[in-house]
Amino acid sequence: MSLIVMKFGGSSVGSPERMQRVAKRIIDSSSAGNRVVVVVSAMGDTTDDLIDQSKQLNPNPPAREMDMLLTTGEQISVALLSMTIHQLGHNAVSLTGWQAGIRTEAVHSKAKITDIRPDRLFKELDAGNVVIVAGFQGMTEDGDITTLGRGGSDTTAVALAAAIQADVCEIYTDVDGIYSTDPRVVKCARKLNEISYDEMLELAHLGAAVLHPRAVEYAKHNNVKLVVRSSFTQNEGTSVKEEAVMEQGVVVRGIAFDKNVARISILGVEDVPGVLAKVFGSLANNGIDVDVIVQSGVKDGKADFSFTVSGDDIARAVEVISGNRDQVPFNEVTSEDNLVKVSIVGAGMVSNPGVAATMFAAISELGVSIKMVSTSEIKVSCIIAAEPLQDVVRALHTAYGLDTAEQVFVGGPQDRR
């Protein structure tokens, strides 16, 4: 008998039929002798509908009231899912975040969980109930309702799993698991059986939006075993854990990519201490996220450096830099959009020299020039033009031996969704 947390996203419960399918899945797990805690998100478009309603009345609503509003979405989900399980003849009880003992800091719209008091949860499990907890929400010590921000339901699931020391936290989604790359781009993308937390973090940050990075970090920190699997098939899914077994001869676990990237270069910057802090501080203060940063060497007391931002932020970023010219003098600022970041990720890289060289070679062979490079212990990212992205990802997938004949015939991405 295992203690299991099962998490279902909003699209998994977006219609009565889907809700029933999820209920059956939960009952199967419970009937197999497991003690089951379920975390569920708001159904389908509920959250967006609530946001639309609020914007009509207040374009900038107070975050506290927004949390009050949005948490109803998950409360509706848990009540309906519990009713569905009852209809199928099994016992279930729904709990809001505060009823499940989820305490957070007193910050609205992106609170962090500070503490979980699982007494009620265990009481309901002991009474033979499936316990269905509203994701994404918690309560402050003062009794105010908070939300956990993006990826909140994943975080709820992982945090509950840690608090009750669950054997596994299963994240149900609309794909079969974590793939070596996006199956919509590379048909022979390989479903991974295992992946380490760190690799998952790199893949998640880089665009494989199956599992929120914050939840992965939480899982890593608390050593919670995650399994990502489909709510529509019985396939095994992908295990995310501390030490993931690498297949023989495979160094790179996956190929990630991020579209809509822009490069900004500041040329001829006076190389005085604190100059980088000033530039990136002012960008951060203006809400502009900077990703890859590359600085070339200093020449004649002046430096050139480049960084990437989202394509949506390019005009504002140039504006901020130009507005700061008094404090950070430079010769010229240039920019280029319509770029992508393509990355290879794998824990095996550390001990395998030449991994990056294979990447550069594969990209060059396609006649594509690499504009920027950034590396970490377990990944290499290249900034390239957006245009031949598919060819590049396919070439890398093949170059690192990730293609599987088996997967080629599985079908297009539609079949997997």
CB of 11 to a copy of itself, least distance (A): 17
Helix (H, G, I), strand (E, B) or coil at 238: strand
**Which range touches a copy of itself (CB under 8 A), out of 65-73, 246-254, 296-304, 366-374?**
65-73
Tokens (6 digits) for 292: 């890859």
Strand-by-strand arrangement of the 137-139 sheet: 113-116, 102-104, 137-139, 145-147
* Other beta carbons within 10 Å of 365: 11
Residues 74 and 54 sit within 8 Å (Cβ to Cβ): no
**What's 288's DSSP letter?**
-
* 63 touching a copy of itself, by CB under 8 A: no
Q: Which residue has the tokens 């977006």?
A: 14
Stretch of 138-146, 238-246, 324-332, 343-351 lying at the interface with a copy of itself (CB under 8 A): 138-146
| Interacting positions 106-135 with a copy of itself (CB under 8 A) | 120
Q: 111, 119, 120, 164: which is closest to 138 by C-alpha?
A: 111
Residue 61 binding a copy of itself, by CB under 8 A? yes
Q: Which of 6, 26, 37, 93 binds a copy of itself (CB under 8 A)?
A: 93
CB closer to a copy of itself out of 68 and 373: 68
CB of 233 to a copy of itself, least distance (A): 23
CA–CA distance, 56 with 333 (Å, rounded to integer): 40
Shortest separation between residue 46's beta carbon and a copy of itself, angstroms: 10
Tokens of 256: 């990630």
- Under the binding rule (CB under 8 A), the answer on residue 405 touching a copy of itself is no
Helical residues (DSSP H) of 179-300, grouped into ranges: 197-205, 213-222, 275-285
If the CB atoms of residues 97 and 237 are measured against a copy of itself, the closer one turns out to be 97
Which residues from 145-174 bind a copy of itself, rule CB under 8 A?
Answer: 145
* Closest residue by Cα to residue 253 from 342, 192, 185, 183: 192
- Residue nearer to a copy of itself on the CB measure, 133 or 164: 133
Tell me the Cα Rg of the chain.
24
Length of the chain: 417
Smallest distance from a copy of itself to CB 15, Å:
10
Would you count residue 21 as binding a copy of itself (CB under 8 A)? no
Residue numbers of the site for a copy of itself (CB under 8 A)?
16, 19-20, 50, 53-54, 56-59, 61-62, 64-66, 68-69, 71-72, 75-76, 78-80, 82-84, 86-87, 93-94, 96, 99, 120, 143-145
